[in-house]
Structure 1
Amino acid sequence: MAEENFDIAIVGGGVSGVYCAWRLKQTNPGQKIAVFEASDHIGGRLLSVRPPDIPDMVAELGGMRILPAVQPLVTKLITELNQELPADEQITLYKFPVDEPQNIAFLRGVYLRLADFTNDPDIVPYQLNFIDHGQSAGEVIVNAIEQIVPGITNSNLNEEQRREMAQSAEFGGVPLYKQGFWNVLLRVITGEAYQYAEDVGGYDSTLCNWNAADAIPWYLSDFGVSPEYMGFSNGFQQVPLSLAQLFEKSGGDVRLASHISHITLQGDGFAFQVNGSAATAKKLILAMPRRSLELLTATSPALQDAKTQALISTVTPRPLFKLFTTYDSPWWRNTGYSSTDDDGKPIYVAVQAGRSVTDLPVRQTYYWPKSNGDAATEGHAMLLASYDDGDNTGFWDGLRAKRRQPRALGRDVAQLADPFIGVDDNVQRDELDWHQYKAPRMMTEEVTRQLTVMHSLNYTPKVRNAAYRDWGDDPFGGGWNSWNIGVKSWEVKHAVVQPTDLPLYICGEAYSDAQGWVEGALQTAGYLLAKLGVAPFPQ
């Protein structure tokens, strides 16, 4: 086969990859630009699938929401895309609920409502001191952060000002960036308060030992000030799919099931292999997280210099696991409680939206909304039954194929190029995507057992269908990435974009200020585009 030659080759079909492709093609319409994606879908860690028989719901196996108040890049991108997309393909949002007061907290064997943490703190099964008693989990951490960096929680500060304060701060006479978040927290709060914040907050990796100078402003942006989330009516994956569609419409080339390897220097550019066939590119963009870059490095001398490797290793992948289950009806509405309205009349307060939390391995359960944001009140319904990060993801390893080993997807090599070969026309394509991630029977039975305990049920809800995604699997290595202790992220995030003088570039959520968010992917893509003389958005 003849060698293919490209002006720009982009490896990775996540948001940062297709975003760069879209803008570069708009600015350089005559150049030959291609996106190479090893999997069979565009979107990276955005993966939206529709469950069987529930056409008005979209399961987000990957990223699921944004914070418009502190994420201007993704907000602007949605506006830009909607100006390009036809009316029936517009990206629409809905208010994404999280902590509703009537929802459940099952912790240390005690059944609580989320409102109890502040309204009835004496029944909370944690031995908190008088300062933390009656505080929410978020308030405990925010109060601790204020002790570590006085003044940083001032509501008049913007995101950049908080980051600058944390980057220049010292704690105990040591620069904050040289210390771990967990280390500094335990010097201002008790171990019991830390465990309380972790259990009730629902996340493990956010409070773990990553770079404190990055963790503190990150935590304040995401959890510190009554965050208002927005979800996507047609799934978050619609964003990268729309970018890829517009890129192709303008003459760009998107290639799925395309494995890149053996990147070497050739003249002023690069030679590489695509599924074993030779290709070259004048410029090479690697829109990938750390683990993907490490896997590529093994066969690619162009990435093996010490400087590039040192920059790639400045972050750590963090586990993330999601498991969705569907049912004949929203049985969780029956786990509410009787109360009275303002006039003293009896009412029933149903559990119907947002999340419940537990210290069982399921950790967080979301009562999944319809595509318009409304709660499911009757008919087929769905749960994000388990949303795990940190050590709890390991619990599910014993109930599935081993980590970093291929799972049986029911597809052969030909189907990677066209995943609908041989599929009955009566089967909806998005339902096929759901079944590609079908959860094993043992996993489904175990999550059902834990949900039954968590909701104090005297019966076992019958699961119709279940799908899961463990983002710790290769090639991702994790659902998000965090800066390592001792790293000056404010320097690395610019240096990693072009590690050497070669026309090789790196972008993605991993090396940003907004790790774990699409906002971070767009931030680093913007730095990369600036190096190539391209504005992040059309002028």
Structure 2
Amino acid sequence: MNRVLLLLVFIATTLVIQGDAFYNKRGGHVPGRLRQKPRPGAFRMRPQKGNKPIQNDVLQEATPAPQCESEYDVVIVGGGCGGVYSAWRLANDNPNRKIVLIEATNRIGGRLLSETMPNVHVSEAELGGMRFVAADHVKVDVVVNDLGLQTAEFLMDEGNDNRPYTIRNTVTKQGELTSSDLPLVLFDDEVGLTADEIQYDVFEATVPLEDRDKPTDQMTTVYGYPLYNLGFRNAYTLANASEDAMNYFDATSGYSDYINNLNAAWLMYPRPTEQLASTYYERVVDGMERIPEGLHSQFMNHNDAVTMMGKTVTAITKLENGNYRVSYEDTVNPADKSVVCGSKVILSLTRRQLERIEWDAFQESAKAPLLDSVYSDIAFKLFLSFDSPPFWKDLEFAEFNLNQGRTLSTLPSRNTYYYTGNGSDDSMIMMYGDSVHAQFWADLAVNTEDFPIMLGPEVFFPTTEPMVAQALRQLAINHNTTVDKIGTPNQAMFQLWSAERPIRVKNNGTGNYSIYYPSEPWHVWRAGYNFTDIWDDIIQLDLNQSVYIIGEAYSLNQGWIEGAFETADEMLEKAFNIPPIETEKELPRRRRRRNPRDVH
């Protein structure tokens, strides 16, 4: 009996040891007496970023790596404009190239999101990017032409001197817009000037005469240091401008990221500007989202093209054979994890999305601090539809001569765009802004238990009763009338772009919702960085690794589709020897009819 008992104890002990060893092979714990002493630095911890736990690459390699599900020539992370454009061009360059595109959400398009408001035919509701400038955005123009997409003018109505501006509850017309009649506290030499005139005086007081014709990255200040070391607010202060001079520019530009101390040289950098009536904007008639959708559709026509939807990439590890293991998890069910492997990896992501990926080069490359060279804010869009003719076509508002285009306000509504319908079609208004103005609307969108959903199709964020009530109140102020004259909207639609505010994403087929963190709306260069020198460096942080970063975030066309295409083309030429698209395809003839480039 004792011999049998001893034998059973021996067998049980053996099974426990073997079981622990087997569990370790599957990535579990190691029994204390079998644990090896770690080498110095192997278990260093990194700070946690974003909303996902950060693990250590060395610690990952201490356990056997999972087998790659598939091997690819190229792994592209991000199904926005830069990602699908890269996939499309790579597949066209070599149809036998094995490419996988990994996207965290259940849709292609990134920050291009086009929806249709019921009974509104004058335009799609562009909840994301809404336009491009063909004369400046050459790559976008070539792609739109290649995809056969129909375009139309995106009307700004900048030449309408009768359109209203609302500055601190004072309504005035554009043609009468001078600081003399506005509730602003300005210095004597600023009174009577426009915001653009004050900005020009700031530029003259900050940049010496001999530098004013130089490229912006080579400009110095009267104090002897580079202009790019100054922020926008710094420049106004050093030029002895008043605080309200900056607020005046903020009010008439329509965006608050200008006064968030962005790089002063970037503000002078040649790019399309909304303040010039001659700048010709275009839109895709069926929606801007058709651009990435069309690129993706053509990419998927190739035999070796693969797209994985609803998968969030968490880590990149370089293998002994020089390839890369890309780890990802299901966006809805993070416990569902897997990996793919590839010879090259392309990250088409925003700054915050990049920070959530574990990759040694982010921490160890000498150029890694350059990732901090940009920052982002939040932005919102709110659409309301009305019966036609809408309130702004009533005789009471005839003096403003509104049909299409925008008006501006210092209220949270900020930029208001008008889309006048024809006949029985509904008309539409879009409110659009950033920074604290977006935060105002965000706080009215999240508490749906207390704020019932009021109107319209729910895309991501719900549109609540307090939100619509506030929109109508601000429309009344901006048009110098009462809420009852504005009328009741038929439908409403709201979208918030923020890396910090989660949204509910509806799962196809089930009707259930999951939580997803949307991306930043756009990025701007921080003061202290010479962006014309470093944007190309960021594309390949580590020259010894075949991992590349693209997207509008670190481009010379931030906030535009062109920025994503621009960095993608730079990467494609560097890593694959593929020339820029405008050198491969004939430029569309319609570009030659565009207005000449007009910039500050």
TM over 0.5: yes
- Matching residue's letter, 1:484: R
2:91 match: 25
Note if contact 1:9-1:33 (Cα within 8 Å) is conserved in structure 2: yes
What is the RMSD of the two structures over their aligned residues, measured on CA atoms? 3.0
Distance across 2 between alignment mates of 1:472 and 1:91: 30
| Closer/same/farther in 2, CA of residues 253 and 142 from structure 1, 3 Å limit | farther
- Matching residue's letter, 2:372: S
Residue 383 of structure 2 corresponds to residue 324 of structure 1: yes
Note if contact 1:146-1:152 (Cα within 8 Å) is conserved in structure 2: no
Give the TM-score normalised by the residue count of structure 2. 0.74
Residue 368 of structure 2 corresponds to residue 309 of structure 1: yes
5 Å matches for 1:246-285? 246-251=298-303, 252-266=305-319, 267-274=321-328, 275=330, 276-285=337-346
2:171 match: 111
SS class of match (1:35): strand
Determine which of 404, 407, 410 is the counterpart of 1:353: 404
Q: CA deviation at 1:11?
A: 0.5
CA distances 1:414-446 after superposition (whole Å, capped 9, x unpaired): xxxxxxxxxxxxxxxxx96x5444422322222
Q: CA deviation at 1:242?
A: 1.2
- Matching residue's letter, 2:297: Q
SS class of match (2:324): strand
Distance across 1 between alignment mates of 2:286 and 2:345: 32
SS class of match (2:119): coil
Task: Name structure 2 gaps, 5 residues minimum.
Answer: 1-66, 331-336, 501-516, 586-600
Note if contact 2:314-2:356 (Cα within 8 Å) is conserved in structure 1: no
5 Å matches for 1:440-519? 440-458=464-482, 459=484, 460-473=486-499, 475-500=517-542, 501-519=544-562
5 Å matches for 1:105-184? 105-117=165-177, 122-128=180-186, 132-149=190-207, 164-184=215-235
Note if contact 1:186-1:194 (Cα within 8 Å) is conserved in structure 2: no
Identical amino acids, percent of aligned pairs: 28
Residue 554 of structure 2 corresponds to residue 530 of structure 1: no
- Matching residue's letter, 2:364: D
- Matching residue's letter, 1:510: A
| Closer/same/farther in 2, CA of residues 195 and 44 from structure 1, 3 Å limit | same
CA distances 1:20-51 after superposition (whole Å, capped 9, x unpaired): 11111111211111211111221111111111
Residue 388 of structure 2 corresponds to residue 380 of structure 1: no
SS class of match (1:186): helix
Note if contact 1:399-1:442 (Cα within 8 Å) is conserved in structure 2: yes
SS class of match (1:291): helix
Distance across 2 between alignment mates of 1:152 and 1:236: 43
Q: CA deviation at 1:448?
A: 2.0
1:202 match: 254
2:56 match: none
Distance across 1 between alignment mates of 2:489 and 2:277: 36
5 Å matches for 1:420-435? 435=459
- Matching residue's letter, 2:350: P
SS class of match (1:357): strand
Give the TM-score normalised by the residue count of structure 1. 0.81
Which structure is richer in relative contact order (CA contacts within 8 A, separation 6 or more)? 1
Q: CA deviation at 1:228?
A: 2.5
Determine which of 554, 563, 568 is the counterpart of 1:520: 563
1:58 match: 124
- Matching residue's letter, 2:72: F
Q: CA deviation at 1:2?
A: 6.9
Distance across 2 between alignment mates of 1:3 and 1:28: 23
SS class of match (1:496): helix
Distance across 1 between alignment mates of 2:210 and 2:288: 32
Q: CA deviation at 1:215?
A: 2.3
Distance across 1 between alignment mates of 2:446 and 2:273: 36
2:283 match: 231
- Matching residue's letter, 1:257: G
Distance across 1 between alignment mates of 2:106 and 2:210: 44
2:595 match: none
Q: CA deviation at 1:241?
A: 1.1
1:193 match: 245
SS class of match (2:473): helix
- Matching residue's letter, 1:473: A
| Closer/same/farther in 2, CA of residues 470 and 349 from structure 1, 3 Å limit | closer
Note if contact 1:181-1:216 (Cα within 8 Å) is conserved in structure 2: no
2:4 match: none
SS class of match (2:443): helix
| Closer/same/farther in 2, CA of residues 152 and 63 from structure 1, 3 Å limit | farther
| Closer/same/farther in 2, CA of residues 354 and 192 from structure 1, 3 Å limit | same
SS class of match (1:449): helix
Note if contact 1:526-1:535 (Cα within 8 Å) is conserved in structure 2: yes
CA distances 1:456-498 after superposition (whole Å, capped 9, x unpaired): 3331521222112211135455211111221121222111111
Note if contact 1:357-1:365 (Cα within 8 Å) is conserved in structure 2: yes
- Matching residue's letter, 1:36: I
Determine which of 45, 52, 72 is the counterpart of 1:6: 72
Q: How many residues get paired? A: 481
Moved more, 236-245 or 126-135: 126-135
| Closer/same/farther in 2, CA of residues 153 and 192 from structure 1, 3 Å limit | farther
Determine which of 136, 139, 146 is the counterpart of 1:80: 146
Q: CA deviation at 1:301?
A: 4.4
Note if contact 2:211-2:219 (Cα within 8 Å) is conserved in structure 1: no
Task: Name structure 1 gaps, 5 residues minimum.
Answer: 83-89, 339-347, 370-374, 403-407, 410-430
Residue 105 of structure 2 corresponds to residue 39 of structure 1: yes
Note if contact 2:119-2:425 (Cα within 8 Å) is conserved in structure 1: no
Distance across 2 between alignment mates of 1:67 and 1:150: 32
